[in-house]
């Protein structure tokens, strides 16, 4: 099932069950997804480089073309999680633990819509394979590793964890 549709259905369900917190989180996520779709729609309608008469598309065709793919929705969800993680750090610095806890709860709700996470041991194996594949030998090769690795693990592993594992493996 499409992730966006699942989020919409769950948001309605939470509203019906009067779960204000969860429905609020999902509505914020949907607003972020819709915002990304509007950006995409604008780019499609104004991009002269397409040269295929995009400006002649009907409103319905434009809306259909600008719908986010599941990968784009996953990227949006990852972006929302990153925003919340950044907020947690700031709240904890400011001794506002209750707000940090709220952000942590929001992250847990959002994570339910990401693909199943790769276990750490399996992730290490995938990273080792990638390091060998791109012939990386030092930390400055991290960009090459990430470029090859990200399409395989996007949304299924925390990028900060991936970076830590890469650093450990390259320092051996």
- Nearest Cα neighbor of 25 from 97, 91, 81, 86 is 81
> Is the domain of 152 the same as that of 87?
no
> Is the domain of 9 the same as that of 94?
yes
Burial class from Cβ neighbours inside 10 Å (0-12, 13-18, 19+) for residue 166 reads buried
> Is the domain of 101 the same as that of 126?
no
Please tell me the pTM assigned to this model: 0.77
> Is the domain of 7 the same as that of 91?
yes
Q: Per the structure block, which two tokens stand in for 149?
A: 């690795």
State which residues form the domain around 136. 120-170
> Is the domain of 23 the same as that of 78?
yes
> Is the domain of 47 the same as that of 68?
yes
Domain end call among 111, 143, 160? 111
CATH of the domain at 100: 1.10.1510
Q: What total number of domains does the chain contain?
A: 2
* pLDDT in 10s for each residue of the chain, 172 residues: 699 999 999 999 999 999 999 999 999 999 999 999 999 888 887 775 654 444 567 778 877 888 888 889 998 998 999 999 999 999 999 999 999 999 999 999 999 999 888 898 999 999 999 998 988 888 888 888 988 998 888 878 888 888 889 888 888 7
CATH of the domain at 145: 1.10.10.410
> Is the domain of 124 the same as that of 105?
no
d(CA 125, CA 150) in angstroms, rounded, equals: 14
- Nearest Cα neighbor of 73 from 35, 118, 44, 104 is 35
> Is the domain of 25 the same as that of 75?
yes
> Is the domain of 95 the same as that of 10?
yes
Residue 51 has a pLDDT of 42
Domain end call among 92, 111, 130? 111
């Amino acid at each position: 099932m499409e992730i966006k549709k699942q989020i919409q259905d769950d948001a309605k369900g939470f509203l019906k069950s009067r779960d204000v917190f969860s429905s609020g989180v999902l509505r914020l996520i949907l607003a972020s997804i819709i915002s990304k779709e509007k950006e995409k729609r604008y780019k499609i309608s104004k991009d002269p480089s397409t040269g295929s008469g995009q400006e002649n598309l009907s409103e319905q065709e434009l809306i259909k073309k600008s719908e986010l793919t599941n990968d784009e929705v996953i990227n949006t969800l990852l972006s929302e999680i990153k925003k919340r993680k950044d907020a947690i750090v700031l709240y904890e610095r400011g001794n506002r633990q209750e707000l940090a806890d709220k952000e942590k709860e929001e992250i847990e709700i959002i994570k339910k819509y990401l693909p199943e996470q790769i276990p750490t041991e399996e992730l290490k194996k995938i990273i080792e394979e990638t390091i060998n594949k791109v012939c990386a030998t030092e930390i400055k090769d991290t960009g090459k590793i990430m470029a090859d690795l990200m399409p395989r693990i996007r949304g299924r592993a925390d990028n900060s964890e991936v970076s830590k594992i890469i650093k450990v493996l390259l320092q051996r």
